[in-house]
Amino acid sequence: MEDDRLIYDEQEATEARFVCFMGSNHRFDLCIVKSDRFFGKSLVLDIQGGKFAIIGHDDLNEPGNIEHAYSLNEEDAEELRTFLRERLSA
């Protein structure tokens, strides 16, 4: 029997990268997931903070985006932004 409420159920091979770095005030434990589903963007999970966002280079340049997505102050958000600029695909 099919579930009429199911919108989609797909499997896809993804690439996951686990990285940890220490900023000036904040430790970042991240999982960066690359998938065709996100139109060239990556799913970036803050493992310890329990936050995530789908991020591309355009999102890194959007004022306040990283601060809001990960509940960070400006300084910590800028460190994360700089780190992700070097690691996300163009």
**pTM for the full model?**
0.87
List all residues 6 or more positions away from 72 whose beta carbon is below 8 Å from its beta carbon: 26, 66, 80
Question: What is Dmax (Cα atoms) for the chain?
Answer: 54
pLDDT at 3: 73
Q: What is the DSSP letter of 5?
A: T
pLDDT at 89: 65
- Of the candidates 59, 12, 50, 4, the one whose C-alpha atom is nearest the C-alpha of residue 29 is 50
Helices and strands of the chain, counted as H and E runs: 3, 4
CA angle in degrees (0–180, nearest 5) for 3-35-60 = 120
Coil vs helix vs strand at 8: coil
Ordered per-residue pLDDT tens for the chain, 90 residues? 567 899 988 999 999 999 999 999 999 999 999 998 888 899 999 999 999 999 999 999 999 999 999 999 999 999 999 999 998 864
